[in-house]
Structure 1
Amino acid sequence: MASTIDNIGLYGSTVGKLNLSTSTLAWSSATTSDKYSTTSSNVVHAEWTVYGKMAYLRVTVKDSDGKKSLRRFDGFATSSFDSVKSQFLTNYDVEVVKTKMDLTGASYGLPTLKDSRLTFNSNEVSPDGTENNPGPEMMSLEMSEVSQCVMRGTGKDRNLIELQFQDNDNLEKNSDQLVQISFYVPPEADMDLSDRSLKTTAEDLHAELLQASNINSATGSIICEFKSDTLMKFLSPSGKYGIELYDGYLRMQGSKYDFKIKYTDISRLFLLNRPDGRAFFIVALEKAVRQGQQKHSYLVIQVDKNDSTVALNLDEEAKNKSGMKDEKLSGKFSNIMAKAFKLITGKKVFVTGKFRGYRDYEAIPCSLKANDGLLYPLEKQFIWLHRPPVLVRFEEISSVEFQRYGGSGASGRNFDLAINLRNAGDGGSKEYVFSGIEKTEFPLLKQFLNEKKIKITNLREDNGRKSYNEGDSDDNAGPLDLGSADEDSEDDGDYGDADAKKEQDAESSDDDMSDDDDDMSEGSDVEEARKRARGEPITAKAPAKKRAKKTTSSSPRKKGTKKKKDPNAPKRAQTSFLIFSNANRAKIKEENPDIAFGAVATKLSEMWKACTEDDKIPYEEKAAEDKARYQKEMESYVPPDDLSDAPTPKGKKSPTKKKAAKKDPNAPKNAKGSYMFFSTAKRAEIKAENPDISFGELSKKTGEVWKSLSVEDKQPFEDLAAEDKERYNKETEAYKKMKKEALAMSSDSSSDDSDDSDSDSDDSD
């Protein structure tokens, strides 16, 4: 006897059909390829529960290994109980038991752990008040779905247990799912909680839940193991973890959390050198792991480069496949970890490419929002570390933009790099802004972007401003392939002695500073054009006193003179109110012939305020169209360097335009004061503590904190300022000496040229 019931949902999946036959119990989704099936002999128990207007059926089945697990089917009509009961008796010889649910909303009860199922029942007290008896069921949890079981309390508070569940990617969109639950287990009344040798009731239950959930269980033998020691430190997720590599998955075991990650869920591996002589080893995950409320899509491990040895437990087949003869890996610890992961997971390891910064670093120090980190320009992608890591492939980049840094006292020394993505899902375009990059990195970063053919939207060349659009990234370089130690390629190679020697013998490859560095200087029209395109207000570039120092004219600016405007510049977009005013101004004058000019504007404002939202829609639509027109025209608009040819207002003389002298890029960087060192060190910390603080309030808050410091607290920053001043004095002395020698050489060269000219003149006579 077989029966098929439609519109039945399987917990953790979608809605489909349930088929009850004499041979199998089967379910299949109506919208996806999800299926479930078990033989009739594996069905051992069934419970029927009514919840509201619907009912659900919980079926206990035996798995292939003999363990019991639970399958829950939802969406039954309450009137179908007799039919379902009959089917189970006939086909599976199983009695369907009715289970009553406690719907009072109580948040406490008695837990029962049976097989892999944790059930909470309401607490019913006996009439004499001496016994607690389990009442109707409040909730049940399947322990096979638990990903973490953690004791959150410590010391005297060892009474709180937290369960975390695996994220289900098969649920329909906008469906809710349980990802975490915590419950409190009261201790025994007479127990001394300060005695750590005594286990609380919560700790006993925690041990039982761990065993039922199989979180700590591992199948197979360990191929390679990295213990939690001084050679490696987890930065994300934070904590002390040991790593065990098995055949098919890795295990991260910590004091509280324990993670199992399949190798198929690993998308990329990275080994990136840090400026301090250590390295980052990064594991990019397809499915994020959860630590408390925080999800982590990247495992970021700080690894040292000290010499070490790690044992490998490879069978003969794996040895022949990998070409490994020895049963251990020796060398730098960072290289050993990369080799082991590549060998066992079968994933390629990406490393840094040809880019080197101004200080010969492989990364650029910068900030993303309020977090400091390192930006690595790799061969096919940018990766920023470390909280949270950001990975941007070149093929995802629409364009990049250089922006001036707005930090207090540092506007001439730093700049920002804005990376605009092509697609960012339903949210439209997305932008990452990496701020606080030292200006010395500009020519090297610009050269790197040009080589990768990444569009730069605001770059100034010597012959004028130019928009770079040289096509999409066409880089054919691949990830690092950890093969033999003899390989020596920029893109693919092994971590062996050859690379160690190359690291030691590497020389600085900094390019000479070029005049392009001045593109980020104050007064550039690029920023103004960019703001106009975005519809942002144009603010003054610098205080009046600062501008007065830069000018070479001794006479003040005459009253009434206006800043030159390019007649070819796109016409600014009109607002909805302005379009409304233009449409109704003539009508108001016609109805009120004697109305004053100022009164017309007042009347228009009153009419606009009286309009409803529906009345304003036509004007807002026209304003949106005009804004789109303006932005499109601004994309192809190139502001001219010189506006001397622009028309001058009638009766006014065109003022003589004098260009400010360019700063010598070889000049020493000015010394920073003690407050600047303090601001650089504490600004990000203050911003993190006050996420919604404005820029002006942030500067004010930083100043207040500085003033509140004692002399002893300020001393470290005073010492840094003194060291920087000493550095500046030495560099200034060397710079002046260099300029003096260059001037002398130039003078000698001019004298020689003059003598040669006279000699030629004599010969010609």
Structure 2
Amino acid sequence: MSDRIEEFSNILRYPHLEKGKLRMAESGLGFKPAASPNQPQPTVFTLRTENLRVCLWQRASIGFRLRLGLGDRTIVLFDGFRREDFDRVQAAMKRFYRLTLEAREPSVRGWNWGEVEVQSDSVAMSIHKRPVFDLPLSKLASSQITGRNEISLEFTPVHTDSHFMGDELIETRLYMTGSSGLRPSQLEGAKDKPESADDEEGEVSKVEAFNEDVKRKADLGQAMGDVLLSFPETLFLTPRGRYDVDVFSAFIRLRGKTYDYKLPYTGIHRIFEAHKPDDLHVYLTVGVEPAVRQGQTRYPYLVLQFAKDELSDVQMNLEKYVLDPPGRDGLSKVPFPAPFHLPFSPSPSPLYPSPLPTSSYSVDHHDGLKSSHKANEGFLFPMESHLVFLPKPPIILSHKEVGNVVFMRADSALTSSARTFDLKINLRNGNEHIFSNISKEEHPPLVAYMRNRGIKVVKDLSESADVRGTVNYAESSEEDVMGVPMGGDEEEDEEEDEDFVPGKAGDSDVGEEYDENFQESEDEDAME
């Protein structure tokens, strides 16, 4: 290869697991994946010279690894180098990019404890100053304290394709004890805060100081100056609590008292807007993938509640292309003042690439049907292409998933006086959901809704059996039903039993072993 280009073959790029050729030149670095049947014309990955900041040489599972740190705190990894490639890579880095390639030998002791440091672009663990692993802060989704001395770090998956069969790190937990030696007012980021009574309680623990350091340095991928919209103290019903919602150009950040989350727009796959029957509040349901987690509990759907006519002054840091996105209307077309939930709504918001499903069914000018799912009370919202139960637990059923529905206790003569009925939804995968205590006034329009959407309505067979049983019971006498005469006000016919002889031993009750007269009677008969 010429002095102006260095090329390396059979290089594997992480985390995309693409194998191809890596070229280095004065203008930058380029990686071209090998062609495959699924990708006959692969996309070339490039890095400009001015974006490179740090380069490290490490041992990897496949040969040796070149670790590149970029100006935006992103880490790029290339595996598959041979040991003899070190001199070529070192010379190319110094000649083209004026960077010194540093070789670091990893720790192979196999310990699960060591020193943890929050660097500018990653969380690094080392043993005796030898690296064990590092976790990029650019992929950090949330950082939360799960125990007294335990912290959980969750990461956004790189591969969202369901056909991907590899392994990815989604969560790791670190356990650290002891005190950090700092008071709350001494933590970085709290310099401007006045000392309070909390400082007199003692020093901050290591896990709390580590959590604050991770949040500050990661800042969930963006600087505070890039916040487009900010909504303080927004009410979430699932998971329950109030969170400060910060809207960025690529993701939404949720900041609560205990938990913080980062929701990339690529992970938001559906949004539903539904109005409560009280006509005062609005539900907003956001489907996220991967699901938000609190400990071992997963929340694939977030449920927000807004006052329908609530107004609030919000500073919007939006540029022209965001206010008026090409090809569709943006927020500049919306009359202000507007409801507080408007920026989250599916249709007019510039945050989403296309309109998402909203509620489309109404009875008595209300969108929701009051019902219950098991022990939880809520509202069932029949929409254009989904059936949605809110608020807890949020259940989203697509019409394509529904095999048939059964209206239970709707037409039964046995329950003609009942004011409610149950709706049983049988899914194609064999599961079922039962929504109970629905007002009978909703039965005719709900049946029409199901038939208009092509959903099969099946007659309740158990209800028919109950009706047949009721008719037979009504036509039968008490004697036919019970099999024996029933006592009442009328006198029963009495006939003497001619075969009955009072005092005869054969007609007496069979003696029991605890009957003291049983043996005595036998003895008297024998003596006679």
Equivalence for 1:432: 432
Equivalence for 1:377: 382
Equivalence for 1:180: 171
1:309–1:333 Cα contact (<8 Å) kept: yes
CA distance in 1, matches of 2:121, 2:104: 18
SS of the aligned residue for 2:313 comes to strand
By relative contact order (CA 8 Å, sep 6+), the higher-ranking structure is 2
Q: Map 1:450-529; keep pairs closer than 5 Å.
A: 450-458=451-459, 520=463, 522-523=465-466
CA distance in 1, matches of 2:259, 2:106: 33
1:208 aligns with 2:213: yes
Equivalence for 1:676: none
CA distance in 2, matches of 1:306, 1:9: 55
2:251–2:263 Cα contact (<8 Å) kept: yes
CA distance in 2, matches of 1:389, 1:243: 21
Measured at CA, do residues 226 and 340 of structure 1 come closer, stay the same or move farther in structure 2, by a change above 3 Å? farther
Measured at CA, do residues 433 and 150 of structure 1 come closer, stay the same or move farther in structure 2, by a change above 3 Å? closer
Give per-residue Cα distances to partners, 1:225-272, cap 9 Å, x unaligned.
4321xxx52012322112234555443322233344455654444332
Equivalence for 2:154: 164
2:220–2:253 Cα contact (<8 Å) kept: no
CA distance in 1, matches of 2:382, 2:129: 62
What residue identity is the alignment partner of 2:167?
Answer: D
CA distance in 2, matches of 1:242, 1:287: 20
Stretches of structure 2 that go unaligned for 5 or more consecutive residues are 185-197, 484-528
Shift of 1:139: 2.4
CA distance in 2, matches of 1:310, 1:453: 45
Q: Map 1:560-639; keep pairs closer than 5 Å.
A: none
Q: Map 1:121-136; keep pairs closer than 5 Å.
A: 121-122=126-127, 134-136=128-130
1:138 aligns with 2:141: no
1:303–1:333 Cα contact (<8 Å) kept: yes
2:180–2:203 Cα contact (<8 Å) kept: no
Measured at CA, do residues 197 and 223 of structure 1 come closer, stay the same or move farther in structure 2, by a change above 3 Å? same
The correspondence for 2:57, drawn from 47, 50, 56, is: 47
Shift of 1:85: 0.9
Equivalence for 2:67: 59
The correspondence for 1:37, drawn from 46, 56, 69, is: 46
CA distance in 2, matches of 1:337, 1:363: 22
What residue identity is the alignment partner of 1:442?
Answer: H
2:425–2:433 Cα contact (<8 Å) kept: yes
Q: Compute the TM-score of the two structures, normalised by the length of structure 1.
A: 0.49
1:14 aligns with 2:46: no
Equivalence for 1:695: none
Equivalence for 2:276: 274
CA distance in 1, matches of 2:129, 2:320: 58
Measured at CA, do residues 342 and 220 of structure 1 come closer, stay the same or move farther in structure 2, by a change above 3 Å? farther
1:166–1:179 Cα contact (<8 Å) kept: yes
The correspondence for 2:258, drawn from 256, 259, 274, is: 256
Q: Percent identity?
A: 19
SS of the aligned residue for 1:227 comes to strand
Give per-residue Cα distances to partners, 1:629-666, cap 9 Å, x unaligned.
xxxxxxxxxxxxxxxxxxxxxxxxxxxxxxxxxxxxxx
CA distance in 2, matches of 1:439, 1:284: 28
CA distance in 2, matches of 1:175, 1:412: 58
CA distance in 1, matches of 2:172, 2:331: 48
Measured at CA, do residues 280 and 25 of structure 1 come closer, stay the same or move farther in structure 2, by a change above 3 Å? same
1:89 aligns with 2:90: yes
1:162–1:182 Cα contact (<8 Å) kept: yes
CA distance in 2, matches of 1:103, 1:393: 50
What residue identity is the alignment partner of 1:523?
Answer: D
2:281–2:306 Cα contact (<8 Å) kept: yes
Shift of 1:102: 3.2
Q: Compute the TM-score of the two structures, normalised by the length of structure 2.
A: 0.68
Shift of 1:316: 6.7
1:12–1:170 Cα contact (<8 Å) kept: no
CA distance in 2, matches of 1:190, 1:315: 44
SS of the aligned residue for 1:329 comes to coil
Residues paired across the two proteins, number = 441
1:112–1:119 Cα contact (<8 Å) kept: yes
Q: Map 1:316-395; keep pairs closer than 5 Å.
A: 322=330, 324=332, 328-330=336-338, 333=340, 336=342, 342-345=348-351, 348=355, 351-356=358-363, 362-368=367-373, 371-395=376-400
Equivalence for 1:106: 111
What residue identity is the alignment partner of 2:165?
Answer: N
Shift of 1:404: 5.9
Equivalence for 1:742: none
Per residue, is there more strand in 1 or in 2? 2
Shift of 1:276: 4.4
What residue identity is the alignment partner of 2:307?
Answer: D
CA distance in 2, matches of 1:202, 1:121: 17
Shift of 1:138: 2.6
Measured at CA, do residues 282 and 216 of structure 1 come closer, stay the same or move farther in structure 2, by a change above 3 Å? same
Measured at CA, do residues 58 and 112 of structure 1 come closer, stay the same or move farther in structure 2, by a change above 3 Å? farther
Give per-residue Cα distances to partners, 1:76-120, cap 9 Å, x unaligned.
6xxx311x2133034323666554333333221112344313221
What residue identity is the alignment partner of 2:466?
Answer: G
CA distance in 2, matches of 1:189, 1:247: 35
CA distance in 1, matches of 2:270, 2:66: 40
SS of the aligned residue for 1:353 comes to coil
What residue identity is the alignment partner of 1:10?
Answer: R
- RMSD after superposition: 4.2
Moved more, 295-304 or 435-444: 435-444
What residue identity is the alignment partner of 1:149?
Answer: S
The correspondence for 2:203, drawn from 175, 198, 206, is: 198
CA distance in 1, matches of 2:323, 2:49: 44
Equivalence for 2:144: 150
SS of the aligned residue for 2:204 comes to coil
SS of the aligned residue for 1:206 comes to helix
Equivalence for 2:445: 444
CA distance in 2, matches of 1:257, 1:220: 22
CA distance in 1, matches of 2:56, 2:181: 41
CA distance in 1, matches of 2:140, 2:449: 47
Give per-residue Cα distances to partners, 1:567-619, cap 9 Å, x unaligned.
xxxxxxxxxxxxxxxxxxxxxxxxxxxxxxxxxxxxxxxxxxxxxxxxxxxxx
CA distance in 2, matches of 1:72, 1:240: 39
1:216–1:258 Cα contact (<8 Å) kept: no
